[in-house]
Amino acid sequence: MYRLTGVRPGKLRIYQEALRHSSMSLIQNTEQIGNNERLEFLGDAILDAVIADLLYMQFPRKNEGFLTEMRTRIVNREQLSFLAAKLGLVEIMEIKSDLHHNKVAMKTIGGNALEALIGAIYLDKGFSAARKFVVDRLVGHYLDMEKLMSTTVSYKALIMKWTQQNHKSIQFVVQHLGENTNSLNTVSLVVDGETWFTEENFSRKKAEELCSEKACRKLGL
């Protein structure tokens, strides 16, 4: 753990739980041995706070929209999976062997474990240690902020990928509010027959992207 995080662990059990997938949950003597799901929930909130603080301090002249966009680029599932792979988290986790052949599941498992590890550091050493791990070990070593700033994120592509992976149907229902080409378009994002979000814009593609962005935030993508 020290080699991995730069933190000398005190409460080893917390780190063991952070690296134990739910597929390995056991019950012994009526007491369940914990997995990393609760720590993942905690670590997700800590990571969001740390990244928000980092961006706020690093970009004092940027507006809320820019800061939110950058945070999304840093903490989305693809990025967390990339960081988990760089740390080699999956290789030292307790996971059912058959899951190793599921590439989609393994990406999610790695990212979730990273969040759980952040939660473990927070519980063991406090917020400052968790922040230092995120800023120094993750952002400092593996993320290029300049590159992230110039990368275009397609929220529609992210939500389309999510629906494919989770076997959901998706549809963008478009309604024109006028007859000329300069009229507003009302676009609704419909998932499995349920309308999730509706946006208006002169550009249909922009309205679709706005709906998709809200969906990504809802799903934590």
**Catalytic (active-site) positions:** 44, 115
Q: What are phi and psi for residue 131, nearest 5 degrees?
A: -65, -45
Residue 123 tokens, joined: 């519980």
User: How many CB atoms are located within 10 Å of the residue 190 CB?
Assistant: 16
Alpha-carbon 129 to chain mean position = 21
Assign 195 to helix, strand or coil. Answer: strand
15-47 burial string, b = 16+ CB within 10 Å, else e? Answer: bbbbbbbeeeeeeeeeeeebbbeebbebbbebb
DSSP secondary structure code for residue 174 in this structure: E
Query: Tokens at residue 6, please?
Result: 């730069």
